[in-house]
């Protein structure tokens, strides 16, 4: 059905249909995620970033994403209760843009509650019958935040990335406008 789309290649025996797309800011990760799911007839696009109407740069970025998306994609703007939204989704495919918004929205909860959120999300993703493409930012590549909250964000996003990698069907790193299939060129750390 989608023979030319790399999403259909079997990149490992995983228990979910979760596909990770990671990369730095402005690397092209969102475009690649959209490309991977473009041929699916029903897509639910979950935008996790808080829509700050006063931030002109943010509004420009949102417009770029909006203009690039097919009109028939259903859009949900929410940065909380991600597991709930995925579980209740009745479409065939989901694109989550991106997990940084989800982490930022939950940054003030304590570690115990964060672990519960994380476990709930992983459980839903593992058991979802849907193809789910997740955009996740790469953080911490030589930058050490000066603030406690910055370190918490980096650590939570990094831990979430590792957890999702363990259940993902495929994993991509996008850098300088190029997508690299991590399963083809890497080995998992024992």
Position 60 in a domain: yes
Model confidence at 187, pLDDT cuts 50, 70, 90, reads confident
- Number of domain units in the chain: 1
- Please check whether residue 2 lies inside any domain of the structure: no
Residue 173 domain boundaries: 11-183
Assessment of whether the complete model's pTM goes beyond 0.75: yes
What confidence category does residue 6 fall into, taking pLDDT thresholds of 50, 70 and 90?
A: low
Summarize the confidence of residues 150-165 as an average pLDDT. Answer: 92
Residue 85: half-sphere exposure toward Cβ, Cα within 13 Å? 21
3 pLDDT band, cuts 50/70/90, is very low
Residue 51 has pLDDT above 70, yes or no: no
Question: Length of the chain in residues, anyone?
Answer: 190
Q: Tell me, yes or no, whether 88 lies in a domain.
A: yes
pLDDT at 24: 86
Residue 147: other Cβ atoms inside 10 A? 8
CATH number of the domain where residue 172 is located: 3.40.50.300
Range of lowest pLDDT (23-32, 56-65, 87-96): 56-65
Q: Does residue 28 belong to any structural domain of this protein? A: yes
Q: How buried is 45 (Cβ within 10 angstroms: 0-12 exposed, 13-18 middle, 19+ buried)?
A: buried
What is the reported pLDDT for 16? 64
Domain presence at residue 138: yes
In a domain, 40, yes or no: yes
Question: DSSP state, 170?
Answer: E
Is the residue at 188 inside a domain?
A: no
């Amino acid at each position: 059905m989608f023979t030319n789309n790399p999403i259909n290649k079997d990149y490992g025996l995983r228990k979910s249909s979760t596909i990770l797309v990671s990369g730095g800011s402005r690397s092209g990760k969102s475009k690649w995620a959209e490309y991977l799911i473009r041929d699916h007839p029903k897509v639910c696009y979950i935008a996790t970033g808080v829509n700050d109407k006063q931030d002109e740069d943010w509004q420009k970025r949102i417009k770029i994403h909006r203009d690039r998306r097919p009109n028939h994609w259903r859009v949900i703007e929410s940065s909380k209760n991600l597991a709930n939204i995925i579980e209740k989704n009745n479409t065939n495919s989901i694109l989550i843009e991106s997990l940084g918004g989800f982490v930022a929205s939950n940054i003030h909860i304590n570690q115990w509650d964060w672990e519960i959120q994380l476990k709930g999300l992983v459980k839903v993703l593992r058991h979802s019958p849907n193809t789910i493409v997740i955009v996740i930012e790469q953080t911490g590549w030589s930058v050490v935040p000066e603030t406690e909250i910055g370190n918490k964000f980096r650590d939570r996003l990094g831990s979430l990335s590792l957890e999702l990698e363990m259940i993902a069907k495929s994993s991509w790193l996008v850098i300088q406008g190029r997508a690299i299939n991590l399963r083809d060129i890497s080995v998992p750390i024992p």
